[in-house]
Structure formats: structure tokens, C-alpha cells
Amino acid sequence: MTRAQGDAFEQRALERLAGAGLSLVTRNFNTRHGEIDLVMRDGDTLVFVEVRYRRGAGFGGGMASVDAAKRARLVRAASLFLAAHPRLAHLPCRFDVVAFAGDAAQPACDWQRAAFDAD
């Protein structure tokens, strides 16, 4: 997938989450551990969002692609985000995954709130 395609799916995810009442804090927060696609606020909760797209469901689809190693990288990146934004560090946090699947023009969307814990 190209960066432009990834950006388009991130935009779709952002629109879906904003439509549900979440507000954007930042996009594409980059660290040495990887990138957090979207950081959002859901009331008093800070939400770190991973966006995935898979054309087919082979190998479990987009949701399954957020494996233990990816989750660990996201948790480390979120820790760095909180260190860089101390005014937000006191907020409760959660990790959501927005997985798109199927035809890129009209994909199905699966939004998993609290998809995993920071353990």
C-alpha cells in the first residue's frame, strides 16, 4: 500500500471516530518505535488508534495483523507520546484498532474500542 492509500484510510478512520464524538489530538506521531496513526480524545480518555486495511481476510485480516510485537511497539510509542505531552499524561488511555477490509472504494470497517491493554 502506498503512503497516499494509507493516508486515505487514516482519513476515513478519523471521520468515523469524529462522527462518534472523538476529537483529534494529532496524526502520525512518529517515534523510533514506530508511528501512532491517530491520537484522539474520547471525553477524558486519550485514545491511541492503529488503522489497518486488508483487501482480503487471509491471515486473519487487519485486526489480526496487530500482533503482540505490533502492540508492544504501539505501547512504547504511546509512552513516548505521553512523555512529550505531559499535560495529557494524567488522562486514562486506551488502544483502539480501526480495521478496513474488502474493496478499497467501499471497505467494511471494524472499530475495536480498547482492542488491547498496555500490560
Domain ranges of the chain: 3-116
Long-range residue pairs from 61-68, CB within 8 A, at least 24 positions apart, any chain: 61/99, 61/101, 62/97, 62/99, 62/100, 62/101, 62/110, 63/97, 63/99, 63/110, 63/112, 63/115, 66/97, 66/115, 66/116
pTM of the model: 0.92
Decide: residue 7, CB within 10 A, 0-12 exposed, 13-18 middle, 19+ buried. middle
Calpha distance 22→70 (Å, rounded): 24
The dotted CATH code for 3-116 is 3.40.1350.10
* pLDDT at residue 58 in the model: 58
Could you state, in chain order, the average pLDDT of each consecutive group of 10 residues for the chain (119 residues)? 82 96 97 93 97 72 78 95 96 95 87 90
* pLDDT at residue 59 in the model: 56
* pLDDT at residue 20 in the model: 97
